[in-house]
């Protein structure tokens, strides 16, 4: 184009696209703000989240220690019976499996999956 004129057809379209994108972005921001307001009420502070997390960790450690304790007690008793009665390895195998079952039952009771047996 030697006469010095330029083609501004693409600039007008780019400006329109930017305006549309900006409007969509603003609507998205408003929608996210509303969704956040409805989803969760503001907490009292960061201490609440820490307490919940600490409580979850404590419960997880308690449940895992109950399972490990059941397995270790079963294995220990099985090993002791094998040494005393000379029935190696059957006492260890049987009591290890019973200890695992007892540990799983204990974890399920502590987690509230099955009710505890309490006399009325």
User: Given a cut of 80, is residue 4 above it in pLDDT?
Assistant: no
What pLDDT is stored for residue 98 in this prediction?
97
pLDDT one-digit tens code per residue, 63-86: 999 999 999 999 999 999 999 999
d(CA 98, CA 71): 8
pLDDT one-digit tens code per residue, 17-73: 888 999 999 999 998 888 887 876 555 555 567 888 888 899 999 999 999 999 999
Tokens of 45: 């502070």
What's this model's pTM, rounded to 2 decimal places?
0.54
d(CA 65, CA 44): 32
- Helices (DSSP H) in the chain: which residue ranges? 9-39, 46-85, 90-111
């Amino acid at each position: 184009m030697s006469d010095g004129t330029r083609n501004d057809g693409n600039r007008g379209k780019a400006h329109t696209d930017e305006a549309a994108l900006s409007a969509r972005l603003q609507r998205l921001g408003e929608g996210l703000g509303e969704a956040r307001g409805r989803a969760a009420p503001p907490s009292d502070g960061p201490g609440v989240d820490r307490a919940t997390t600490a409580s979850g960790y404590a419960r997880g450690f308690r449940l895992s220690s109950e399972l490990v304790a059941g397995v270790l007690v079963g294995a220990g008793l099985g090993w002791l019976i094998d040494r005393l009665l000379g029935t190696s390895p059957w006492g260890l195998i049987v009591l290890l499996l019973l200890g695992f079952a007892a540990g799983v039952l204990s974890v399920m009771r502590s987690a509230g999956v099955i009710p505890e047996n309490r006399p009325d």
